Structure 1
Amino acid sequence: MGPPTDLPAVIESEIKEWHFHIYFHQNNASEHQAALELRDAVLRLRRDGAFVAVPLWRVNTGPIGPHPVGSYEIWCPSESFASLFSYLCINRGELSILVHPLTREQRDDHDSRKAWIGPSYPLDLSVLPVKSDEIPFQYPSLKLGYSSTAPQLSLEARRKIGASIESILRSEKEAAKAPQD
């Protein structure tokens, strides 16, 4: 059985919120300073409208939870994911960044669903629950991510967009064609 392709099920399972964990070696003053400067830059850019990104107020100066070194967390809704990811890819310097989704399955989010910007670190997954009753959504007052109140595209609208894209790409030699099943 391959990856799912049932459109309603895929849409229902879409990840709406993400965490970016900025890592620094807690005994390295220059890394710690670089991490704080990156945090301040993200806060300024959020203030100025570049993206929605909410760094947690606390900066962990040592290992905490599954994280083996100093770190802080930035919450990001899917609406700003590409903008924040792009910014951090370009501007992380020598810092490593763990990126993971927020779902009911925190251990999988930090294990098989994670990505790294920069070198990876080993995580202590034993401190994370396997499955929670609820999605750990954050900042519902923003009405973004899982709390979004924006109207969603209907299945019919999505199918029309998909058909239009397929039609346009028919003349593109380098573009893979969708199966005709």
Structure 2
Amino acid sequence: MITGFHAHVYFDADTKDLAEQICKSAAQTFGVTMGRMHDRPVGPHPMPSCQLGTTPEQFAQLLPWLALNRQGLIVFAHPETGQHLEDHRDRGIWLGTGLGLNLSIFQ
């Protein structure tokens, strides 16, 4: 069962401010939870990122909005089912170029 979703907006030093603006706008527009701006890769993520936490209902609105408003940034989204490896490896959605995740943390 899907209990929620995470959308991770990836950035680098040159696009951090843009990513923060996009995440703040998403939080204000959809009421999603904006996490910290991580200036280094965290967990399985290969780049610095900011996480947006959503309910399934919010995600249905957020994903199309991110597709139109990500301004060239890469976004990785996945469901939250409690099966972390499968959620990241098998059930992820990429907006932009897909990147390799560090899935070894789930083993």
TM-score normalised per structure 2: 0.92
CA-to-partner distance for each residue in 1:112-169, whole Å, 9 max, x for gaps?
Answer: 111101111110001125xxxxxxxxxxxxxxxxxxxxxxxxxxxxxxxxxxxxxxxx
1:96-135 matches, within 5 Å, as 96-129=74-107
2:93 counterpart letter in structure 1 = A
Q: Which has the higher strand share?
A: 2
Matched, 1:60 2:44: no
The answer to whether the 8 A contact 2:24-2:34 is kept is: no
CA-to-partner distance for each residue in 1:9-54, whole Å, 9 max, x for gaps?
Answer: xxxx3x23000000012xx32x111101101212331xxxxx2311
Please list every run of 5 or more consecutive structure 2 residues that lacks an aligned counterpart in the other structure. Answer: none
Larger radius of gyration: 1
The answer to whether the 8 A contact 1:52-1:77 is kept is: no
1:99 counterpart letter in structure 2 = A
Please list every run of 5 or more consecutive structure 1 residues that lacks an aligned counterpart in the other structure. Answer: 1-12, 46-50, 130-181
Runs of 4+ in 1 over 3 A off after TM superposition: none
- Equivalent residues, number: 107
1:31-180 matches, within 5 Å, as 31-45=15-29, 51-56=30-35, 58-129=36-107
Could you say what the CA RMSD is over the residues aligned between the two structures, in angstroms? 1.3
User: Greater relative contact order (Cα 8 A, min sep 6): structure 1 or 2?
Assistant: 2
TM-score normalised per structure 1: 0.56
Sequence identity, in percent?
A: 31
Aligned residue in 2 for 1:18: 5
